[in-house]
Structure 1
Amino acid sequence: MQYGSQCSTEADRPWRPQAERTSTAPMSHPETSSALRLMAVHAHPDDESSKGAATTAKYVDAGHEVMVVTCTGGEAGSILNPAMDRPEVLANMAAIRREEMAKAAEILGVQHRWLGFVDSGLPEGDPKPPLPEGCFALVDDEVATERLVRVIREFRPHVLVTYDENGGYPHPDHIKTHVISVKAFDAAGDPDRFPAAGEPWQPLKLYYTIGFTKARIQAFDEAIRARGEESPYTEWLANWPDDRPDMQERVTTRIECAQWFDRRDAALLAHATQIDPNSRWFAVPREVQAEIWPWEDYQLVRSLVDSPVPEDDLFAGISQRVAVG
Structure 2
Amino acid sequence: MAVHAHPDDESSKGAATTARYAAEGVDVLVVTCTGGERGDVLNPHHPPVEGGIEEMRAVRRVEMAAAAQALGVRQHWLGFVDSGLPEGDPLPPLPEGCFALQPLEEASRPLVELVREFRPHVITTYDPTGGYPHPDHIMCHRVAFEAFHAAGDPERYTGTGEPWTPLKLYYNHGFSMARIRAAHEALVARGVESPFGEWVESRAAREIPEREVTTLVPVADYFDQRDAALRAHATQIDPEGFFFAMPRDLELEVWATEEYELAESRVPTTLPEDDLFAGIREALA
Return 5+ residue gaps in structure 2 as ranges.
none
Letter in 1 for 2:209: P
State the SS of the aligned residue for 1:83: coil
Structure 1 match to 2:75: 112
Structure 2 match to 1:260: 222
Contact 1:79 1:90 in 2 (8 A): no
Of residues 245, 248, 253, the one that matches 1:283 is 245
- The question of 1:215 aligning with 2:178 is answered yes
- The question of 1:82 aligning with 2:44 is answered yes
| Residue 86 (structure 1) shift | 2.3
| Residue 90 (structure 1) shift | 6.2
Change (3 A) 1:87 1:251: closer
Contact 2:126 2:140 in 1 (8 A): yes
| Residue 237 (structure 1) shift | 1.4
Contact 2:16 2:225 in 1 (8 A): yes
Contact 1:65 1:110 in 2 (8 A): yes
| Residue 218 (structure 1) shift | 1.2
Change (3 A) 1:88 1:131: closer
Give runs of aligned pairs for residues 188-267 of structure 1, distance below 5 A.
188-241=151-204, 242-247=206-211, 250-267=212-229
State the SS of the aligned residue for 1:65: coil
Change (3 A) 1:87 1:40: closer
Structure 2 match to 1:293: 255
Q: Deviations over 1:111-135 (max 9, x none)?
A: 1100000000011000000000000
RMSD: 1.2
Whole-angstrom CA distance in 1 between matches of 2:88 and 2:223? 36
Q: Deviations over 1:138-180 (max 9, x none)?
A: 0010011111001101100000001000001110000000011
| Residue 57 (structure 1) shift | 0.4
Letter in 2 for 1:68: V
Whole-angstrom CA distance in 2 between matches of 1:155 and 1:213? 30
TM-score, normalised relative to structure 2: 0.97
Return 5+ residue gaps in structure 1 as ranges.
1-38
Contact 1:252 1:309 in 2 (8 A): yes
| Residue 85 (structure 1) shift | 3.2
| Residue 89 (structure 1) shift | 7.7
State the SS of the aligned residue for 1:71: strand
TM-score, normalised relative to structure 1: 0.85
Whole-angstrom CA distance in 1 between matches of 2:236 and 2:167? 34
Contact 2:83 2:94 in 1 (8 A): yes
Of residues 124, 134, 138, the one that matches 1:175 is 138
Contact 2:41 2:49 in 1 (8 A): no
Letter in 2 for 1:286: R
Contact 1:89 1:96 in 2 (8 A): no
Whole-angstrom CA distance in 2 between matches of 1:240 and 1:132? 32
| Residue 88 (structure 1) shift | 3.6
| Residue 243 (structure 1) shift | 2.8
Give runs of aligned pairs for residues 1-325 of structure 1, distance below 5 A.
39-88=1-50, 92-241=55-204, 242-247=206-211, 250-323=212-285
Contact 2:115 2:151 in 1 (8 A): yes
| Residue 87 (structure 1) shift | 4.7
Contact 2:35 2:81 in 1 (8 A): yes
Whole-angstrom CA distance in 2 between matches of 1:234 and 1:240? 12
Q: Percent identity?
A: 60
After the TM superposition, list the runs of 4 or more consecutive aligned residues in structure 1 that deviate by more than 3 angstroms: 87-91
Q: Deviations over 1:270-299 (max 9, x none)?
A: 000000011121111111111110000000
Letter in 2 for 1:106: Q
Letter in 1 for 2:19: A
Letter in 2 for 1:49: S
State the SS of the aligned residue for 1:125: coil
Whole-angstrom CA distance in 2 between matches of 1:89 and 1:285? 37
